[in-house]
């Protein structure tokens, strides 16, 4: 009975030494001392030690495997190990940096739509285009609860999305508590949504989205329209009311910007041969023009314009260092029923990176970026990237331009 009473005040997980702490300590001492010393000199302005996964794998592949399968325990062990490495620090604060792993193996880099139940609680790395970003908001890290009867206080770590308090007071058995924000501890928090890179989609497939939560020193690292690779742990969002379908999100550990344009277009040996053969044909220009929406009869001029646009012009730099962009814009004007929309949709199918929007459902500002207050931002402002931003480096097609 007495033990039970005490349990209310203690963290709910049993405190035990993880078998991985020692292994991480050995790894840090042998491989990371330079980086740790550098970090200690800049702590707490810099708060994270970045660890290349490949390096850990070379040092201890069993530990590396364990990290992929059981990231929560391993990262806690790594952070404990790091804080016990003896380095001189300049600051008064206790040296408790984050350990952030990156550069996961290929099989841990699923595309967004392949993320499923098998990934829950595991360490993965995903790439996407940032669609929306919320403001930086304070999130409870340690909540201080005060007993309403005897004023005993309890400091409860908050690891889930729903706030958790003590079940009853160890001093007086009272079950009523008030949350004391003043003495609670908060951490910066930001939510972003990424979309599958458009060039990974075939034809008019729907792009998959994933919500990603950033904490502490990871906030404000990326903006809407950026392309980023994020390493983190897939977690569940409890359903609203009593449903059985859960939402999922990625808790970010590491983020890096990746700016690749058309690398994803795979050209095989056979493709190359066909391309080389085609390039030597005298009628290659006409052939390309005819290849635009071959199911639509006529409209050669429109098709030629689109073909030229798909290839793009040449970026020029003038003697006074001004640059002239090589991008070509095309405005299709014509009576209804002239296959304009059909042409756009055909281009959507063949362009390696493209986005199609209907003017009726968009606004001028919405094409570039908008700031909105909605559920995603949890009451704060969210910046959403528009079609033009998402299609950067590719084709943005706006149907019924006049309706905007
Ligand atoms: Zn009490």
CA of 13 to the centre of ligand 1 (A): 22
* Cβ contacts of 258-265, under 8 Å, gap ≥ 24: 258/127, 258/227, 258/228, 258/229, 259/227, 260/227, 261/353, 261/393, 262/199, 262/352, 262/353, 262/393, 264/197, 264/199, 264/200, 264/352, 265/199, 265/352
Distance of CA 184 to the CA centre of its chain: 28
CA of 176 to the centre of ligand 1 (A): 8
CA of 169 to the centre of ligand 1 (A): 5
Task: Tell me the domain boundaries of the chain.
Answer: 1-103, 107-265, 269-403
Q: Which DSSP letter does residue 113 get?
A: G
Tokens of 257: 């910007």
CA of 153 to the centre of ligand 1 (A): 8
pLDDT in the model for residue 230: 93
The three-class DSSP label of residue 168 is: coil
CB neighbours of residue 324 within 10 Å: 11
CA of 177 to the centre of ligand 1 (A): 8
Planar angle of CA 137, 142, 147, nearest 5 degrees: 120
Could you tell me which of 350, 312, 316, 342 has the C-alpha nearest to residue 330? 312
pLDDT in the model for residue 204: 61
CA of 46 to the centre of ligand 1 (A): 40
Distance of CA 33 to the CA centre of its chain: 30
Q: Region of 71 please: left (phi>0), alpha (psi -120 to 50) or beta.
A: alpha
Partnered with residue 365 across adjacent β-strands are: none
- Which runs of consecutive H residues, i.e. helices, occur in 334-373? 340-350, 364-368
The CATH number given to 269-403 is 3.40.50.300
CATH topology for 107-265 is OB fold (Dihydrolipoamide Acetyltransferase, E2P) (2.40.50)
- Compute CA distances 324 → 260, 319, 389, whole Å: 22, 11, 20
Half-sphere exposure of 336 (CA within 13 A, CB side): 2
Q: What's the CA gap between 253 and 233, in Å, rounded?
A: 8
Which ipTM score applies to this complex?
0.93
CA of 156 to the centre of ligand 1 (A): 15
Q: What's the CA gap between 331 and 310, in Å, rounded?
A: 14
CA of 182 to the centre of ligand 1 (A): 19
CA of 158 to the centre of ligand 1 (A): 21
- Compute CA distances 345 → 284, 296, 351, whole Å: 23, 12, 10
CATH topology for 1-103 is mini-chromosome maintenance (MCM) complex, chain A, domain 1 (3.30.1640)
Tokens of 385: 């990237």
CA of 152 to the centre of ligand 1 (A): 5
pLDDT in the model for residue 253: 92
Per-residue pLDDT tens, the chain, 404 aa: give them: 333 334 444 444 445 577 888 888 888 888 888 888 888 888 878 888 899 899 888 888 888 888 999 998 889 888 888 888 877 776 677 788 899 998 989 889 888 888 888 889 999 999 888 888 888 888 888 888 888 888 888 888 887 777 888 888 888 888 888 888 888 888 888 999 998 877 666 656 677 889 999 988 888 888 888 888 999 999 888 777 777 778 888 999 999 888 655 555 677 889 889 989 988 888 888 888 888 888 888 888 888 998 888 888 888 888 888 888 888 888 888 888 888 888 888 887 788 777 777 777 667 667 777 777 777 777 777 777 777 777 777 788 888 777 77
Q: What's the CA gap between 210 and 273, in Å, rounded?
A: 39
Is residue 104 within 8 Å of 125, Cβ to Cβ?
yes
């Amino acid at each position: 009975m007495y033990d039970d009473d005490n349990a209310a005040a203690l963290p709910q997980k049993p405190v035990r030494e993880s078998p991985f702490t020692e292994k991480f300590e050995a790894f840090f001492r042998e491989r990371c001392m330079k980086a740790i010393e550098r970090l200690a000199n800049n702590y707490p302005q810099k708060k994270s030690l970045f660890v290349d996964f490949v390096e850990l794998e070379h040092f201890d592949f069993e530990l590396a495997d364990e990290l992929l399968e059981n990231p929560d325990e391993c990262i806690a062990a790594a952070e404990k190990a790091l804080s016990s490495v003896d380095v001189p620090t300049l600051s008064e604060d206790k040296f408790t940096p984050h350990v952030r792993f990156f550069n996961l193996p290929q099989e841990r880099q699923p595309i967004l739509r392949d993320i499923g139940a098998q990934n829950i609680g595991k360490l993965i790395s995903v790439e996407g285009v940032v669609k929306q970003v919320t403001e930086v908001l304070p999130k409870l890290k340690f909540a201080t609860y005060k007993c309403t009867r005897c004023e005993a206080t309890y400091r409860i770590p908050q690891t889930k999305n729903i706030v958790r308090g003590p079940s009853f007071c160890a001093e007086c058995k009272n079950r009523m508590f008030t949350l004391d924000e003043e003495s609670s501890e908060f951490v910066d928090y930001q939510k972003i949504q990424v979309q599958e890179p458009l060039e990974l989609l075939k034809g008019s497939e729907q792009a998959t989205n994933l919500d990603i939560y950033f904490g502490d020193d990871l906030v404000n690292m990326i903006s809407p329209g950026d392309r980023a690779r994020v390493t983190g742990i897939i977690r569940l969002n409890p359903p609203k009311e009593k449903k059985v379908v859960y939402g999922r999100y990625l808790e970010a550990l590491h983020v890096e910007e990746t700016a690749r344009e058309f690398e994803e277009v795979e050209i095989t040996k056979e493709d190359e041969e066909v391309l080389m053969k085609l390039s030597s044909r005298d009628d290659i220009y006409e052939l390309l023009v005819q290849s635009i929406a071959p199911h639509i009869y006529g409209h050669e001029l429109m098709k030629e314009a689109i073909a030229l646009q798909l290839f793009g012009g040449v970026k020029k730099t003038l003697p006074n260092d001004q640059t002239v962009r090589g991008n070509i814009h095309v405005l299709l004007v014509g009576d209804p029923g002239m296959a304009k929309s059909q042409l756009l949709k055909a281009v959507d199918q063949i362009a390696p990176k493209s986005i199609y929007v209907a003017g009726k459902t968009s606004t001028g500002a919405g094409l570039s970026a908008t700031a909105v207050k909605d559920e995603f931002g949890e009451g704060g402002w969210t910046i959403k990237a528009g079609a033009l931003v998402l299609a950067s480096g590719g084709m943005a097609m706006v149907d019924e331009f006049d309706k905007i």
